[in-house]
Amino acid sequence: MEKLVEFTLGDEVIMKKPHACGTNLWTISRNGADIKIKCNACGREIMMDRLEFMRKLKKVIKNEETKG
Ligand SMILES: [Zn+2]
């Protein structure tokens, strides 16, 4: 049961579980075989493989309008 989700560097994402700091908004800071996301509230970065990221991902918020 795989779902194809598109995301790019700089997109904001919401994960299924909130971070320890209470926020659930992250920004993708690395997009490759491994995905790195940065917590928007406390700045903590975590890295996980793509598969794990897809499993934990809830929603991608495209960030095109706020770019620049
Ligand atoms: Zn945090």
For the record, the structure tokens of 22 come out as 């209470």
In the reported structure, the alpha carbon of residue 18 is separated from the centroid of ligand 1 by a whole-number distance in angstroms of 8
Q: Per-10-residue mean pLDDT for the chain, 68 residues long?
A: 76 95 96 95 96 95 66
Q: Check residue 44 and give its pLDDT.
A: 97
27 DSSP β-pair partners: 12, 38
Q: Check residue 18 and give its pLDDT.
A: 92
For the record, the structure tokens of 65 come out as 């309008």
In the reported structure, the alpha carbon of residue 38 is separated from the centroid of ligand 1 by a whole-number distance in angstroms of 8
In the reported structure, the alpha carbon of residue 44 is separated from the centroid of ligand 1 by a whole-number distance in angstroms of 6
Residue with tokens 């989700």: 5
Q: Check residue 6 and give its pLDDT.
A: 85
User: What is the rounded CA–CA span in Å between residue 41 and residue 43?
Assistant: 6
Domain segments of the chain: what residues? 12-63
Q: Which of 5, 12, 66 is nearest to 37 (CA)?
A: 12
Residue with tokens 């793509």: 50
Helix, strand, or coil here: 36? strand
Please give the model's pTM, rounded to 2 decimal places: 0.83
